[in-house]
Amino acid sequence: MERSQIRCRSGIKGRVKAFASTLLLYLGLCALVPAAEEHPFTSKISQRIELHDQYHNLQSLNFPATNVTFLTIADRKGSKQIEGWITALKAHHKGPLDIRGLADVGGVPSLLRGRIRKRFQETILYPVMMDWSGDVCARFRYVADQANVIIIDRNGSIAGRFSGQATEASLKAAFVALEKAVATPMLPPTDLATKSPSPSKR
């Protein structure tokens, strides 16, 4: 084999190795860059949320709203603590209130979704938004394996958030936050509100 051919092949191999090294370095750097995350709901619900409930009905959580919203968020383990909060809330507050549920069912395989919906239909009367991706629940920064209760005033501001069992102390604090939210008047929609980001659909 002539020397020119050997040099040519060596040159090609060298360029291939250099390209592969560059590609691996690029992919490694991409892995280090965090994925873009939607704005979290830590103090205010700044974006309309739309998810289907256990009855396949599309539910929308949008503000300003007519009533104060009592939102519960839970995964499978945390759902066992929800009933204590709901029962105490209904006994304490007699006025109008929008009770909503948000279920983190992101880990449920597609084949089991029908069974999960049926279980929700049999045990929960109020609408529960089924978050099959888990992305919407994550934006609330909720505590896993516990019931999460979020009280939202008519303007979408979070008046209080609580997690865990409904104890005497936590209920007392929740009722204070609830009364604060009820006393907050609904602000008229502004041009900014009408130009809010597109709804978060999952």
Residue range 120-177, pLDDT digits in tens: 999 888 899 999 999 999 999 999 999 999 999 999 999 999 999 999 999 999 999 9
Cis, bond preceding 127 (omega within 30 deg of 0): no
Query: 5 with 67, same domain?
Result: no
Please indicate, yes or no, whether residues 25 and 53 belong to a single structural domain of this protein. Answer: no
| Helix H or strand E encompassing 174 | helix 168-183
Maximum CA pair distance of the chain?
95
Position 196 pLDDT exceeds 70: no
Looking at the structure, tell me whether residues 94 and 22 fall in a common domain.
no
97 near 68, Cβ under 8 Å?
yes
Tell me the average pLDDT of the chain: 81
Question: What is the model's pTM?
Answer: 0.73
CATH code of the domain covering residue 105: 3.40.30.10
Residues 158/41, Cβ–Cβ less than 8 Å: yes
79 with 118, same domain?
A: yes
What pLDDT, on the 0 to 100 scale, is given for residue 138? 92
Tens-place pLDDT, residues 72-112: 999 989 999 999 999 999 899 989 999 999 999 998 999 99
Evaluate whether residue 23 is within a structural domain.
yes
In a domain, 40, yes or no: no
In a domain, 179, yes or no: yes
Q: Is residue 44 situated within a structural domain?
A: no
Same domain for 181 and 135: yes
What is the structure's pLDDT at 21?
A: 40
pLDDT score recorded for residue 107: 86
- What range defines the domain where residue 179 resides? 49-201
Contact 33, 27 (CB under 8 A): no
Three-class SS state of 159: strand
Q: Residue 44's beta-bridge partner residues? A: 157
Q: Are the beta carbons of 166 and 139 closer than 8 angstroms?
A: no
Lowest mean pLDDT among 5-9, 151-155, 156-160, 192-196: 192-196
Contacts of 89 (CB under 8 A, 6+ apart): 70, 97, 99, 174, 178
Alpha helical stretches, state H, 33-123: 82-92, 113-123
High-pLDDT (> 70) share of the chain, % = 74
Residue at 22 is within a domain: yes
Tokens read off for 137? 């629940």
Q: How confident is the model at residue 31 (pLDDT cuts 50, 70, 90)?
A: very low
DSSP state of 147: -
Split into its structural domains, the chain has a count of 2
